[in-house]
Chains A and B, each alone.
Chain A
């Protein structure tokens, strides 16, 4: 038996991958089912929950969180974490807010690019510290969370950018839509699809998963771990910067405290969406669905007249559930692999010992 345990398991990669992807699909299916049940119950209690305005509100609310969650998923998949996203969002929102305040004619596209740039730089700083400082991402981004927020406070002081100081075109972007779909939602969907395809179908994306599954193995097979870490953090930072612009557009009021505490919501969205905190698994679709689920819970509890303390409890329960599912899946995978190894072994043995 001991020999069996230590023997390398000849598992065919293709079958493992398809089995795994079906599990992941099932996980996302779970979120969709939870979402359907939630919307169903709330609609029964209050039919207006499915009105056009309400759906629009949910999607608009989700768009900011989803953009952040996609960036977070990319980082978590590489077995890192980015806790600085709330502060990056704040810095970007204030930078872009000041920028459009001083240049009222600036096209919204430029504002969006500026947000991406600010966030990207913040993300690169995180990456450099993680990669070349050899410090765990948790510690680095906890530090930069305070550093970026501090920088924003230092710059903004008590200043507040209010709706009447922002150009009409900029604020109007929140209401503008493309073929009936609000631009904020379009941007979020583009981000989700682009990141999703990149992670699923491109070499870089697969390398990120490999790094998360086993950093040592990834290095050994020649994956440029350093470069990819930079890419992952820069992506997360840039998306947090983009989310900052969306924040300014949607809420119309920006001060140095914008986005305080968002980082935990974002991590929650990613984890609830099935992105394993130990890296190597999960999808950005899942993270986006997690964001949608959390936002819908918030909206539906407000409609259902449920005490808001419950909201936090429910989010907490969902995180625990997601982690439990994670663990369960991991155990089942391990058992499945072992069983298959046993069978293969037994077959081989059976063959060789025939007299």
Chain B
């Protein structure tokens, strides 16, 4: 599951970066009065914040691929939301996450006259023509997790911003290192977009005077492979005996590093943190190898996407920046630039709360 999580996150981070870049462009070329509506065809409609959420809407989830644990949890959140909203939940999707595999599913969903399509795009552009056909047919399109090009969807539910994740990593690392000491990063592959974006944020934060005590000694790459991550964790500990914290922003890396440290003589001497799933890390949190780590809750992504979709179809929002809507238990959200809705800061897991999560 974690292997696909990374690639998923790559796309998401890339999309986030894209969105940030586009926002910057929009700021220079457009006046604030235009509102920079990315909704395209939907921009003509005006939002009625008081519109009631409609019941019985047909919402179809089209994840990157089926039979993927991470995806299953995401769309499971969507189903929960639709149970609350009394909507009709449907799940379709390809068995492979290739660029073009989602197109035929979108066409079928158009014929079935769904009200909302929630899609995690395998390729931002490949799905575009079909999604725009869907929107022309009155279907609202919400992308989640991995964005479609911004002019072919109404809103995008982003699990977290690059900045938010990077800041959280630094915050946890600093706390575990006791404010100062040597730290190392165990990443996935050297060319993983999201990993590198987060590492950049971490580096920027470490350059600040208040983090002067933290010294990043090495960035190692475990390729999201258990054996390789073991070897790299071992190399780090041998090369840097004073290492305080290993930060691994990848679910395979953090679990492998924790497993390695907990079964070696380094246990108790070095702290492990980063991004991981509660199930994979539970054992190591309980045996004290990793006291805290973070991740967004995938179920919340699907949940928020379902609420956003229903709010769009009900006319409560149109996808314009600044519009607000309520997403059940998650509370109120404000749409950001380019129709982006950010789930929020990653959830931090520790011994106190880890048993409340099962994914």
Contact = CB atoms under 8 A, between A and B. Distances in A.
27 contacts: A53-B265, A53-B266, A54-B238, A61-B227, A61-B231, A64-B227, A157-B67, A157-B72, A160-B1, A160-B280, A163-B259, A163-B283, A163-B284, A164-B279, A164-B286, A165-B279, A251-B230, A251-B256, A251-B259, A253-B280, A298-B227, A299-B235, A301-B235, A302-B232, A303-B235, A303-B239, A308-B228
Interface string B215-232: 000101101011110111
B1 A158 contact: yes
Contacts of A308: 190, 221, 223, 228
Contacts of B228: 298, 308
Contact of A164 (B220, B232, B263, B282): B282
A278 interface: no
A46 B239 CA distance: 7
B238 A158 contact: no
A160 B251 CA distance: 12
A299 B231 contact: yes
Nearest to A166: B283
Contacts of A257: 3
A49 B239 CA distance: 9
Interface in A155-183: 157-160, 162-165, 171, 174-175
B270 to A, nearest CB: 13
Contacts, number: 102
B69 A158 contact: yes
A164 B259 CA distance: 11
Interface of A: 46, 48-49, 51-54, 57, 61, 64, 153, 157-160, 162-165, 171, 174-175, 247, 251-253, 255, 257-258, 261, 298-299, 301-303, 305, 308
A61 B230 contact: yes
Contacts of A174: 263
A174 B283 CA distance: 15
Contact of A48 (B67, B241, B255): B241
B254 to A, nearest CB: 11
A49 B231 CA distance: 12
B301 to A, nearest CB: 16
B234 A54 contact: yes
Contacts of A302: 220, 231-232, 234-236
B278 to A, nearest CB: 9
B63 to A, nearest CB: 11
Contact of A251 (B221, B226, B266): B226
A53 B264 contact: yes
Contacts of A298: 227-228, 231
A164 B279 CA distance: 7
B69 A159 contact: yes
B36 interface: no
Interface string B278-317: 0110111010000000000000000000000000000000
B196 interface: no
B286 A158 contact: no
B198 interface: no
A150 to B, nearest CB: 10
Residue with the greatest number of chain B CB neighbours at <10 A, chosen from A48, A164, A165, A305: A164
Nearest to A251: B226
A253 B226 contact: yes
A64 B266 CA distance: 22
Nearest to A42: B238
Q: Which 10 A-B pairs have the closest CB atoms?
A: A302-B235, A158-B69, A163-B283, A164-B282, A164-B283, A251-B226, A48-B238, A303-B235, A162-B279, A162-B280
Contacts of A247: 226
A196 B2 CA distance: 39
Contact of A51 (B69, B230, B238, B283): B238
B282 A163 contact: yes
B70 interface: yes
Nearest to B234: A57
Contacts of A54: 234, 238
A299 B220 CA distance: 12
B80 interface: no
Contacts of A57: 230-231, 234, 264
A288 B69 CA distance: 36
Contacts of B230: 57, 61, 251
B101 to A, nearest CB: 16
B162 interface: no
Nearest to B224: A257
B41 interface: no
B163 interface: no
A158 B283 contact: no
B68 A158 contact: yes
B234 A158 contact: no
A49 B235 CA distance: 9
Interface string B65-77: 0011111100000
B282 A162 contact: yes
A174 B263 CA distance: 8
A67 B23 CA distance: 55
A188 to B, nearest CB: 15
A153 B1 CA distance: 11
Contacts of A251: 226-227, 230, 256, 259
A2 B71 CA distance: 72
A261 B67 CA distance: 21
Contacts of B284: 163
Contacts of B238: 46, 48-49, 51, 54, 303
Residue with the greatest number of chain A CB neighbours at <10 A, chosen from B71, B220, B232, B241: B232
Nearest to B255: A253
A251 B280 CA distance: 11
B264 to A, nearest CB: 6
A313 B308 CA distance: 49
A175 B263 contact: yes
A158 B238 CA distance: 35
Given A163-B282, A308-B228, 4 more contacts: A48-B241, A52-B265, A158-B72, A298-B231
B227 to A, nearest CB: 7
